[in-house]
């Protein structure tokens, strides 16, 4: 592992992809987390997803808006805590999950995260291809997908500093573009049934809440990607609220815009529909839309490569990927993304929603275990150096408690899944609303907490000790490994 006080890297190319960011290389403030959360979440894909409230679930405008609002505020509670500890450790979230599941036991969560970001990468490529096709009708969607992949790769090649700088520009550009597009769509006249189209059903409303809420946990695995580069003195509460505020506000705007303009837009393609409804300003709006797609896909590509590299480091703990390896992995993801995008392009909305819901069913229990372990069992304390030494660390290679809770958390969700390929009986009873995201944390979180706490209390011949006292006794043999700033966790007796 790179030491905390290693030399800073002054150039723009990102060097610390999956290892610890040295203290001297850290920069920025919590305001950056707000702008990054806002800019990352005010995404074209969120606009398309918000339009599903009307196009797929056929809800009236007021119902769709309320469902989006409830879902985003709930989903942010699951996402923001993953970014909060970033400055304390300087490590990606997927590396930190080793403290819960073990160095090899963390592998399932890493694989799911990698697959999720490849899916997001492919979905944005579909949007890029369709936008280019609308702007230049002679250009096939498939060629537009390949051009979108090349543009995203060019941005990603520079690294996170350029992406973060473009993120601020993209947030303003897309935000102003949405406002202008909405205003022009209204001035061109709204359909007579704009406010009355559709009919309220609880199942449809709950489905929109689920889809909106799951948008936030989808970004949880690498939520600490930017916060881990902040100085270690930044408070956890500050990172939480900056992340929560920026992410929720950034997601709400495109979700609500998609739900609001879908009744006024012709056709199922929301991006092209807004461009058409905006009249002569439509081509300009589509160009802004395309720019935002490319920027967000650079983030998706960066995350997908980062997660894939983490798979290698999970299998070989002390392995550090060299530039050639990072380039090879990037090329692999670049090949997989367009291939998946071509498969999604035909029935984009339905196929994308089904694929993401399945991946999130495997991700939600992982997120619940991470939050319970860090917040309730470790009380925010963890030795970063232990995460790269599985033979000496207390969790070893596998943690049966965490893995058992994770498997059970996935299993209990299966009857509550809803999609084109499979809909469980309870989900069918509620009209096809996916309820797995509610059931998973409700079972996984208390199960893991009680199981892990019981294991702590059985230590020392069955004596029942307080959590902090028991953890101190377990970690006493590892005192030489502690950096000075976290030794206080063990000094509690």
How far, in Å, CA of 54 to CA of 293, rounded? 22
Query: Which pLDDT score, from 0 to 100, does residue 70 have?
Result: 92
Residue closest to 275 by CA, chosen among 172, 64, 127: 127
- Cα–Cα nearest to 141, from 133, 150, 153, 151: 133
Q: What's the pLDDT score for residue 408?
A: 95
Task: Give the integer Cα–Cα distance in Å for 422 and 440.
Answer: 17
**pLDDT tens profile 22-44:** 656 565 667 777 877 787 777 77
pLDDT value, residue 140: 92
Dist. CA 17–CA 325, nearest whole Å: 12
Long-range Cβ pairs for the range 320-329 (8 Å, 24+): 320/19, 321/17, 321/18, 326/17, 329/305
pLDDT in tens, 257-286: 887 777 766 555 666 666 666 667 767 777
- Helix, coil or strand: residue 423: strand
Q: What is the DSSP letter of 417?
A: -
Residue-level pLDDT at 89: 61
Burial 346-373 (b: 16+ CB within 10 A, else e): eebbebbbbbbbbbbbbbbbbbbbbbbb
pLDDT reported for residue 407: 93
User: Rounded distance, CA 159 to CA 340, Å?
Assistant: 24
Query: Within 84-159, where are the H helices?
Result: 86-89, 93-96, 98-101, 107-135, 141-158
Which SS3 state, helix, strand or coil, does residue 317 take?
coil
Q: Which residue has the tokens 């090879």?
A: 328
DSSP secondary structure string, 187-253?
HT---TTTTT-S---HHHHHHHHHHHHHHTGGG-TTTHHHHTTS-TTS-HHHHHHHHHHHHHHHHHH
List CB contacts of 406: < 8 A, sequence separation 6 or more. Answer: 101, 108, 109, 365, 366, 369, 444
Helices (H) and strands (E) in the chain, counts: 20, 0
Report whether 481 contacts 385 (CB < 8 A).
yes
Question: For residue 350, which of 413, 264, 418 has the smallest C-alpha distance?
Answer: 418
Q: What is the CB-side half-sphere exposure of residue 28 using CA atoms within 13 A?
A: 22
Query: Mean pLDDT over all residues of the chain?
Result: 74
pLDDT given at position 476: 46
Cα-based angle 260, 262, 267 (whole degrees, multiple of 5): 170
Which two tokens mark 333?
Answer: 């993801």
Please state the φ and ψ torsions of residue 345, each to the nearest 5 degrees: -60, -35
- What is the model's pLDDT at position 27? 56
How many Cα atoms within 13 Å fall on the side-chain side of residue 470?
A: 18
**Vertex 81, ends 75 and 85: CA angle to 5°?**
160
Domains and CATH numbers, the chain: 26-348 (1.10.4160.10)
Dist. CA 140–CA 85, nearest whole Å: 45
Q: What is the pLDDT, as a whole number, of residue 367?
A: 81
Q: How many CA atoms does the CB half-sphere of 276 hold within 13 Å?
A: 15
Tell me if 298 sits within 8 A of 156, measured CB to CB: yes
Q: What is the pLDDT of residues 442-489, one digit of tens each?
A: 999 999 999 888 876 765 444 434 444 444 443 444 344 334 443 343
Return the closest-CA partner of residue 243 out of 20, 32, 23, 18: 32
pLDDT in tens, the chain (493 residues): 333 334 344 444 455 454 556 656 565 667 777 877 787 777 777 887 888 887 778 888 888 889 989 988 888 887 777 666 666 665 665 556 566 666 677 788 788 888 888 988 998 899 889 888 888 888 999 999 999 999 888 887 776 667 767 767 777 777 777 777 777 766 766 666 666 777 888 878 888 888 888 778 766 654 555 566 666 667 777 778 888 888 888 888 888 888 777 776 655 566 666 666 666 776 777 787 788 888 788 888 888 888 888 888 777 767 777 888 888 888 899 999 999 999 888 777 778 778 878 888 888 888 888 788 877 776 655 555 555 554 444 455 777 888 899 999 999 999 998 877 788 998 888 777 788 888 999 999 999 999 888 876 765 444 434 444 444 443 444 344 334 443 343 343 3
Tokens standing for residue 148: 């979108």
Report the predicted TM-score, pTM, of the whole model to 2 decimal places: 0.73
Compute how many other C-beta atoms are within 10 angstroms of the C-beta atom of residue 412.
Answer: 17
Q: Which residue has the tokens 């150039």?
A: 11
Read off the tokens for 112: 């799911």
DSSP line for 432-454 = S---HHHHHHHHHHHHHHHHHHH
Those residues whose C-beta lies under 8 Å from the C-beta of residue 181, and which sit 6 or more positions away, are 261, 274, 275, 277, 278, 281, 285
Q: How much is the pLDDT for 480?
A: 42
- Please give the Cα distance from 237 to 77 (Å, whole number): 13
């Amino acid at each position: 592992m790179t030491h905390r006080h290693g030399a800073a890297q002054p150039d723009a190319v990102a060097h610390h992809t999956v290892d610890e960011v040295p203290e001297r290389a850290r920069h920025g403030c919590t305001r950056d987390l707000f702008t990054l959360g806002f800019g990352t979440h005010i995404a074209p894909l969120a606009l398309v997803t918000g339009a599903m409230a009307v196009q797929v679930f056929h809800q009236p405008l007021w119902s769709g808006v309320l469902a989006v609002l409830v879902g985003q505020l709930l989903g942010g509670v699951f996402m923001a805590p993953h970014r909060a500890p970033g400055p304390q450790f300087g490590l990606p979230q997927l590396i930190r999950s080793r403290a819960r599941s073990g160095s090899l036991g963390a592998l399932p969560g890493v694989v799911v995260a990698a697959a999720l970001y490849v899916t997001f990468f492919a979905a944005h490529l579909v949007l890029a291809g369709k936008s280019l096709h609308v702007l230049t009708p002679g250009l096939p969607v498939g060629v537009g997908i390949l051009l979108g992949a090349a543009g995203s790769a060019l941005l990603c090649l520079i690294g996170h500093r350029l992406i973060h700088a473009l993120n601020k520009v993209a947030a303003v550009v897309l935000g102003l573009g949405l406002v202008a597009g909405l205003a022009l769509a209204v001035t061109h006249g709204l359909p007579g049934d704009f406010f009355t189209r559709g009919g309220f059903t609880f199942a449809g409303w709950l489905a929109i809440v689920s889809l909106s809420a799951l948008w936030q946990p989808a970004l949880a695995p690498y939520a600490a990607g930017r916060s881990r580069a902040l100085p270690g003195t930044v408070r956890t509460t500050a990172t939480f609220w900056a992340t929560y505020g920026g992410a929720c506000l950034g997601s709400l705007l495109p979700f609500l815009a998609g739900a609001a303009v879908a009744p006024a837009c012709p056709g199922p393609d929301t991006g092209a529909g807004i461009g058409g409804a905006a009249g002569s300003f439509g081509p300009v709006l589509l160009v802004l839309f395309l720019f935002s797609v490319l920027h967000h896909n650079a983030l998706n590509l960066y995350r997908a490569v980062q997660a894939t590299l983490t798979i290698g480091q999970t299998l070989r703990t002390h392995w550090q990927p060299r530039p050639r390896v990072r380039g090879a992995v990037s090329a692999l993801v670049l090949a997989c993304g367009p291939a998946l995008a071509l498969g999604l392009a035909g029935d984009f909305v339905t196929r994308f929603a089904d694929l993401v819901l399945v991946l999130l069913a495997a991700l939600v229990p992982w997120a619940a275990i991470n939050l319970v372990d860090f917040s309730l069992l470790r009380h925010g304390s963890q030795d970063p150096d232990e995460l790269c030494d599985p033979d000496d660390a207390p969790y070893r290679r596998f943690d049966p408690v965490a893995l058992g809770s994770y498997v059970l958390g996935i299993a209990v969700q299966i009857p509550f899944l809803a999609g084109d390929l499979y809909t469980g009986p309870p989900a069918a009873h509620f009209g096809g609303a996916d309820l797995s995201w509610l059931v998973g944390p409700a079972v996984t979180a208390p199960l893991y907490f009680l199981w892990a706490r019981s294991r702590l209390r059985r230590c020392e011949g069955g004596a029942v000790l307080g959590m902090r006292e028991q953890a101190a006794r377990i970690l006493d043999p590892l005192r030489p490994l502690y950096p000075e700033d976290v030794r206080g966790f063990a000094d509690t007796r």
